[in-house]
Every structure is written in C-alpha cells, then in structure tokens.
A and B are shown apart, each in its own frame.
Chain A
Amino acid sequence: MPYWRKCKDFAVKIIIWLFSLAALAFLFWILSDLIIKGLPNITFDYITSEYNEYKGINGIAPMIVTTLWIISVTLIISGVTGVFAAVYLAEYSRPGPIVSVIRFALESLTGIPSIIYGLFGYIFFKSILKLGFSILSASLTLAVMVLPFVIRSTENALRSVNRLYRDGSFALGATKLYTVMNITLPCAAPRIITVMLLTVGRIAGETAAVYFTAGTVYRYPEGIMSSGRTLSVHIYMLAKETGNYDETYAAALVLVIFISLIHFIVNTASRVINAERI
C-alpha cells in the first residue's frame, strides 16, 4: 500500500478516536461535576426530612415518596397492558390491516415528545376525566408515554423464546393460552423484567409530562388522588426559582445515582441472560 494511503487511513482513525473521546469526556465531565458538587450535600437528614422554604427545611423525602408512587402506579398500568399487547403482537396476530394500524400507532407514539404527552394528560386526564393534578393523572399520562417502549421490547423478549419449547407444548396438546401462560411468558420473564427496570428509569427521569399532570406541591402524597412533586420536577423548580446550588446538585445526584443503578443492574442481568442462552 502506498505511503500516503497509509497516512490517510491513520488520520481517519485518529479523527474517529478523538471525536469519540470528546463524547466520552463530556459524559465524565457531567458525572464528575455532579459528584463533586452534589455528594458533600447528600446527608441522612437531606434524604429523610421534609421540604419547606419558610421553615428552612430542605429535604427531599416527600419527592422521593411521590416519585416511587408514580413509578409503581405507572408500572402496574403500563406493565399489564404492555405485556398483553405484546403477547397479542407476538403470538396471536396475523399480518393484516389491524396489525399495520397498531404498528403505525406505536411508531408514531414513540416519536411524540414528552411535552405533548403532558399537554394531552393535562386536558384529558386532569380536566376531562376530572382527575385533577394527581398521581393518577401523571401515571396514566406516563403509562401512555412508555407503552410503545414496553410493547416493543416485550415483544422482542417473547420472540426470542426458543420455538422448540412452544412447538413441544403444542405437540403435547396444550392450547395457545396455556402455552403462552406456562411456556412463553416464564421463558421470557427475565428479559421482561429488565424491560420493566428500564421503564422505571425513564419514568424517574421524566419531567415535562409530570409537571403538567401531577403538579408541584411538595407535601407527602396521601394517596393516588393527591398531587405531588417528583424528584425531577423538584430539580426543575429549584433551578428555576431558588438559587440554591447545593440542594439542587444533591437532588440531581440522587436521581442520577438511582438511574445509573438501574442501568448497572440491567447490564449485568442481560449479560447473564445472554450467557445462559449459549
């Protein structure tokens, strides 16, 4: 190979490495900034006490509780309907107009930004169904938002189950429903659980849709119908309305640690799942 071609090849390689390193550096810049400015301010008191600007208490416990409420309710709603829908698409559906319409809807919903979901939840769940600013409104809105992701990933999980198991079950005389409940779903369960975990991460990080449907009240929620402020909305409110960097950085770090933990678990789990298959 002529010398100049080797040089050109090397130059392109260098550019690729440099650009990639730049992206990686930005990630570590954000993470280290969060850790340096946030970690000293995360104390036991901060995590377990209430928030009240007038009394000068600035904990995040109510926000954590609200976030957990919204995560659980959303997960129940989107988990059940999502898995059912995925079972339909993976096991029952035949190519035809109904399936193409469903797939078109799923693809379109994926592209819609969260603020549009927020507007929809604000007018439909909050105003028309009269659920008000509440955990239920927010959870229903978020459930619609994460549904395409849940359905698509669960469908992939179901399709990755070895065909032989299913055929064996049919050969033994089991019906379709029996096979789905006892063979396909249990075999796909580990993957479906990782899908749910990733969904938890998405719900925890969502701000715009929750801001329009759950409100910004910083009390402990009393139930599914009371309004509340999630951790991510809390970060936004602090950033917008107060100048208190320490508090905000601490809240942001708590949220990022929670999400990184989920990603870490999912990564480890999928490595184990993939290793088992081979």
Chain B
Amino acid sequence: MRRGGQDRLLIKTRNRKWEKVIEILFLLSALISVFSLTAITVYLFAKGFPAIWEIGIMNFIFGMEWNPTADNPSYGIFPMIYASAAGTVGAVFLSVPVGLSAAVLLAAVAPPSLANFLRPCVDLMSGIPSVVYGYFGLTVIVPLISEYLGGPGNSLLAVIVLLSVMILPTIIKISENSLRTVPVEIIQGSYALGAAKMETVLKVMIPAAGSGILSSIVLGIGRAIGETMAVILVCGNAAQIPRSVLDMVRPMTANIALEMSYADPFHESVLFGTGVVLFMFIAAVNIVINVLSGNAAKFKDKPPHYLL
C-alpha cells in the first residue's frame, strides 16, 4: 500500500510544475522570517515613535522624571536606561569570570565523563524559565540581601545577581564551543615548547578563541538587557537613579511590562517608545555580534601561526 503511494508521488513529482510550486512554498516559508523582522520593526516604530516625537527625543531619553499618571505628566526614561545598563554591566562582570572558567573546565580540564554530566546541567540552567529565577530571587535572594546588607532587598544588586546567573549558560556554551575549535596543532605546539597545561589554556587557547568568547559575552549582554520577568520581581520598580547597588531600580523592560495593563492610549504609545529604545540597544548588540563573527570567519583561512 505504502509503496504504491510512494510510486505515485514519484510519478507526480516528475512533473516540473509541481516541483517548482513546492520550491516556491519552501522559499515563502523561509521569507516569513524576513517579513516578521520587517513587521516587528515597522509596527514598533509606528506605534512608539510618534509619542517620543511629541515628548521630544531629548526630553524622553534624558528626562529624569517618570510620572505618567500625574495631572501634568512627565515621561523621562533616563533612570530606566541607567538601570538597564547598570544591571547588565554588573551581571557581565560577575558572569564572565565564572562562565569562562566553566567553559575552560568543560573544554580542557574536566575528565570527559564529568564533562558529559555537567553539560546537561548547563542546558537545564538555560531551560529554567525566567519567571522561576525571578521567584527564587524574590523569596530567597531579596531577603538575604535585606538581612545581611541592609536596604529593602529589592535592589540593583538582586537584579545583578539574577541576571549574572541567567546569562551564564550563554557564555559557557558558546565559549566552550569556540575553545573546542582551536586547532589542535597550536595546542600541541604550545606543549612542545614546554608550556604547562594552564599556561597553554591562558596564553594560547583563550586568545585563539577570543572572538568566539567575545561574541558569547555580547550575546549575554543582549539577553541581560532584554530580560523581563526575572528582573521585574526583584528590582523594586522605583524609577530613580540608584545611589548604591542596594537602591531600588526599574529597568526599561520592567517599565513596559508593569504599566501596560492600565495604560491609556498615549501612555501605551510611550511604553512602546520605551520598547523602541530597548530595540535600538539590541540592534547595536546585533551589529557588534555580526562584526565579531565576520572577524572569526577571516581567521579561518589563515594558517594557525597567525593566531599566535
């Protein structure tokens, strides 16, 4: 029965027209991604930009006051841009040493059986939903901060700690991959010159995998800026410039998600405007990644000694 069906398909597919139609269907499916990207960009700007224009670009981006429900409302998002940036920078500082160590451990130090156990752990870490990280932060990390360091607990520090854990899998996985693709010749060359294992790791493997490690960090930055649900539960939501890491903050993503449910039409457009600014940051991150991977492609054709 099945065989007969296949034969019929064989005869049918000899028909050139039919082949062409299906090929076009495949192409259209592939083009959906292009349509989506265009639609996302167009609709986000169409909805957000008029509001930014009405407020004034400078007043919007560098304004210090956020008070959309007052009689004389003010819409300045600088404190939120600052909070997003501070949270991201802090998370990267915490996460890079740990992530890079774990990547080196998986790629070169740990015995294969241990590495095979640890890799699924990294996957699980990236699989835990952000809202669960957020709830863990709210019930465990926030009280710890408030008890031992003082302050309300809901703070920039809590944001940084959570974000650093959440971007860890990204940094570990991509760095490990690029450490693994370092040509074995230059590693053996390093040993042949009498270098010890860790000297080889630090002075040969990490520099050779440099562009891959850098793009893992930049990808981590992208994840940290865009993270919403974990951050919203621990940040405290006060739109202010924090004086210390123990002060409450409100990153851009939290601003959008918090106020969307009760916003009037203009307020809603302003929130989309916040999305536009966030989108610009992500676009910048994407450009950096493209440049980095372009550099990595250039290295591939060079002889290994070029990397040293």
Interface on A for B, CB 8 Å cutoff? 1, 5-6, 8-9, 12-13, 15-20, 22-24, 26-27, 29-30, 33-34, 80-82, 84-85, 87-89, 92-93, 98, 101-102, 105-109, 111-120, 122-124, 128, 144, 147-148, 151, 174-178, 181-182, 201, 204-208, 211-212, 232-233, 235-236, 239-240, 245, 248-249, 252, 255-256, 259-260, 262-264, 267
| Cβ-defined contact, A123 with B47, below 8 A | yes
Q: What is the interface residue range for chain B against chain A?
A: 35 or more
Q: How far is the CB of B102 from chain A (nearest CB, A)?
A: 4
B131 contacts which of A89, A144, A207, A262 (Cβ < 8 Å)?
A207
| Cβ-defined contact, B105 with A256, below 8 A | no
Q: How far is the CB of A243 from chain B (nearest CB, A)?
A: 10
B10 contacts which of A15, A174, A204, A248 (Cβ < 8 Å)?
A174
| Cβ-defined contact, A235 with B278, below 8 A | no
Q: How far is the CA of A115 from the CA of B279 in the complex (A)?
A: 10
Residues of A within 8 A of B135 (CB): 235, 239, 248-249, 252
Q: How far is the CA of A267 from the CA of B272 in the complex (A)?
A: 40
Which of chain B's residues 249-286 have a Cβ closer than 8 Å to chain A? Answer: 253, 256-257, 260, 272, 275, 278-279, 282-283, 285-286
| Cβ-defined contact, A16 with B196, below 8 A | no
Q: How far is the CB of A20 from chain B (nearest CB, A)?
A: 4
| Cβ-defined contact, A92 with B23, below 8 A | yes
Residues of B within 8 A of A259 (CB): 124, 127-129
Residues of A within 8 A of B196 (CB): 1, 5-6, 9
| Cβ-defined contact, A115 with B228, below 8 A | yes
0 or 1 for each of B140-166: is its CB under 8 Å from A? (1 = yes): 100000000000000000000000010
Q: Does B70 contact A (CB under 8 A)?
A: no
Residues of A within 8 A of B140 (CB): 29, 33
Q: How far is the CA of A88 from the CA of B26 in the complex (A)?
A: 5
B282 contacts which of A24, A30, A111 (Cβ < 8 Å)?
A111
Interface on B for A, CB 8 Å cutoff? 6, 9-10, 13-14, 18-19, 22-23, 25-27, 29-34, 36-37, 39-40, 43-44, 47, 97-99, 101-102, 104-105, 109, 118, 120-121, 123-125, 127-136, 138-140, 165, 168, 172, 194, 196-199, 201-202, 219, 222-223, 225-229, 233, 253, 256-257, 260, 272, 275, 278-279, 282-283, 285-286, 289-290
Q: How far is the CB of A18 from chain B (nearest CB, A)?
A: 8
Closest 10 CB pairs of A and B: A113-B226, A205-B129, A84-B29, A19-B101, A88-B26, A85-B30, A12-B198, A85-B29, A20-B102, A88-B30
Q: How far is the CA of A233 from the CA of B129 in the complex (A)?
A: 11
Q: Which residue of A lies closest to B194 (CB)?
A: A1
Contact A101 B105, CB 8 Å, known A113-B227, A119-B44, A123-B43:
no
Q: How far is the CB of B50 from chain A (nearest CB, A)?
A: 13
Q: How far is the CA of A122 from the CA of B219 in the complex (A)?
A: 26
Q: How far is the CB of B107 from chain A (nearest CB, A)?
A: 11
| Cβ-defined contact, A20 with B105, below 8 A | yes
Q: Which residue of A lies closest to B37 (CB)?
A: A105
Residues of B within 8 A of A263 (CB): 120, 123-124, 127
| Cβ-defined contact, B121 with A24, below 8 A | yes
| Cβ-defined contact, B127 with A178, below 8 A | no
| Cβ-defined contact, A16 with B109, below 8 A | yes
Q: How far is the CB of B6 from chain A (nearest CB, A)?
A: 6
Q: How far is the CA of A147 from the CA of B36 in the complex (A)?
A: 10
Q: How far is the CA of A269 from the CA of B306 in the complex (A)?
A: 40
A33 contacts which of B18, B19, B136, B256 (Cβ < 8 Å)?
B136
| Cβ-defined contact, B33 with A147, below 8 A | yes
Q: How far is the CB of B232 from chain A (nearest CB, A)?
A: 8
Q: How far is the CB of A231 from chain B (nearest CB, A)?
A: 9
| Cβ-defined contact, B34 with A119, below 8 A | no
Contact A260 B272, CB 8 Å, known A113-B227, A113-B282, A177-B13:
no
| Cβ-defined contact, B253 with A115, below 8 A | yes
Q: How far is the CA of A107 from the CA of B227 in the complex (A)?
A: 18
| Cβ-defined contact, A205 with B130, below 8 A | yes
Q: How far is the CA of A84 from the CA of B19 in the complex (A)?
A: 14
Contact A207 B229, CB 8 Å, known A16-B104, A85-B29:
yes
Q: How far is the CA of A201 from the CA of B123 in the complex (A)?
A: 11
Q: How far is the CB of B187 from chain A (nearest CB, A)?
A: 15
Q: How far is the CB of B216 from chain A (nearest CB, A)?
A: 13
Q: Which residue of A lies closest to B28 (CB)?
A: A84
B124 contacts which of A8, A27, A88, A117 (Cβ < 8 Å)?
A27
| Cβ-defined contact, A236 with B36, below 8 A | no
| Cβ-defined contact, B290 with A107, below 8 A | yes
Q: List 5 A-B contacts (CB under 8 A).
A: A19-B101, A27-B121, A85-B30, A115-B253, A123-B44
Q: How far is the CB of B40 from chain A (nearest CB, A)?
A: 5
A232 contacts which of B14, B101, B129 (Cβ < 8 Å)?
B129
Residues of B within 8 A of A20 (CB): 98, 101-102, 105, 118
| Cβ-defined contact, B253 with A9, below 8 A | no
